[in-house]
Structures are given as structure tokens and as C-alpha cells.
């Protein structure tokens, strides 16, 4: 049984994230999507909301489950006996992602594989989506209809400004 973890903030989950999770699920028997709970207070959605969004987005993939984690990702991997971290990689991500991958391996022996982001989502990020939503732009191409609606509602509720 091969297992991998797909970690992230997912604030909110985009088509780019789901593409990486789906492609990881094609490579491993079991995939745990790990939603980081120890993020900054400026997150748009609560950890529980982000888990619910991902559960909906991943519902069609039988080997995929979603969990919350806090603390070090490698401790989560160790507790669950998951030997591989799978992360999507966009053009500008290399320096940051490589440092994290090397640090995680140094800390624990858990290795990281990178899934190149599909070209149609390579410029999409949750932070850009939040900014566009806040400024009244169209975020519908990048998110499921339901997550897009929740995002629009939340930026209005929170009165988020850039």
C-alpha cells in the first residue's frame, strides 16, 4: 500500500490544488490531504471550512481523505506512517519548495515529490484569488461554483481590504 500526503493551506482550494491531488491519487493507493491549521489569523476560511471544501472537492476519488494538522508536517507524516509528501510546483515555487522539501527530509527522512502544475492552472494561487475576489473581479474560472460563492460571501462579510 503506497501512501502520500498532499499538504497545504487551501485558503480557498482552487482547481490547481485539486488537479495536483487527483494526479497524486493516480500515483499512490492512498492520499491524505492535510490542511494546515497553524496559519496566520488573516486566513479567509477557518480550518474546518477548508476541510469541508476539500472533502466536497475530493469526494469522487476513493483513495483520498482529508485531515486537519497542526504543528510540524513531518510529525503528522510520522504519526500516520506516510513516507511521501506530494506538492504541486509552479514556476516561481522552486526556491521555497526545495528548502521545505530538504528541511523535511533532514528532520524526518520523509521525502517530497513535486507534481508540475498543469499549464492551465500555473498562474493560479489562493492569494491571487482572494485579492481578485476582494476587488470584485471574476474568480469563477479558478474555483468550484460553490467555493467561489463562499469566497465572494466571505470577503464581503469580512470586509477584507488589500
Instruction: Compare residues 92 and 136 and give the one whose CB is closer to ligand PNS.
Output: 92
User: Does the protein bind ligand PNS through residue 37 (CB under 6 A)?
Assistant: no
| Residues with active-site annotation | 17, 41, 90, 126
Cβ neighbours of 128 (radius 10 Å):
14
Contact between residue 67 and residue 55 where contact means Cβ atoms under 8 Å apart:
no
User: Does the protein bind ligand PNS through residue 73 (CB under 6 A)?
Assistant: yes
Backbone angles phi, psi at 14, to 5 degrees: -110, 170
User: Does the protein bind ligand PNS through residue 125 (CB under 6 A)?
Assistant: no
Nearest approach, Cβ of residue 7 and ligand PNS (Å):
4
Instruction: Compare residues 24 and 104 and give the one whose CB is closer to ligand PNS.
Output: 104
State the burial class of residue 133 (Cβ atoms within 10 Å of its Cβ: 0-12, 13-18, 19+). Answer: buried
- β-bridge mates for residue 34, sequence order: 7, 67
Q: Among 12, 16, 36, 47, which residue sits at the site for ligand PNS (rule: CB under 6 A)?
A: 36
Nearest approach, Cβ of residue 127 and ligand PNS (Å):
9
Q: Among 24, 86, 104, 117, which residue sits at the site for ligand PNS (rule: CB under 6 A)?
A: 104
Residue 79's alpha-carbon distances to 82, 93, 105, in angstroms, are 8, 27, 16
Instruction: Compare residues 7 and 57 and give the one whose CB is closer to ligand PNS.
Output: 7
Which spans of this chain sit near ligand PNS (rule: CB under 6 A)?
7-9, 36, 72-73, 100, 103-104
Amino acid at each position: 500500500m503506497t501512501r502520500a500526503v498532499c499538504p497545504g493551506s487551501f485558503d480557498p482550494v482552487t482547481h490547481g490544488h485539486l488537479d495536483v491531488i487527483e494526479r497524486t491519487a493516480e500515483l499512490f493507493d492512498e492520499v491524505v490531504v492535510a490542511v494546515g491549521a497553524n496559519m496566520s489569523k488573516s486566513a479567509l476560511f477557518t480550518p474546518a471550512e477548508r476541510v469541508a471544501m476539500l472533502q466536497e472537492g475530493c469526494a469522487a476519488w476513493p483513495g483520498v481523505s482529508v485531515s486537519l494538522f497542526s504543528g510540524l508536517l513531518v510529525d503528522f507524516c510520522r504519526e500516520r506512517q506516510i513516507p511521501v509528501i506530494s506538492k504541486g510546483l509552479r514556476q516561481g515555487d522552486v526556491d521555497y519548495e526545495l528548502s521545505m522539501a530538504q528541511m523535511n527530509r533532514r528532520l524526518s527522512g520523509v521525502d517530497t515529490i513535486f507534481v508540475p502544475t498543469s499549464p492551465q492552472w500555473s498562474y493560479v494561487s489562493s492569494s491571487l484569488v482572494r485579492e481578485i475576489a476582494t476587488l470584485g473581479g471574476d474568480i469563477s474560472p479558478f474555483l468550484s461554483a460553490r467555493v467561489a460563492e463562499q469566497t465572494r460571501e466571505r470577503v464581503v462579510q469580512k470586509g477584507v481590504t488589500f
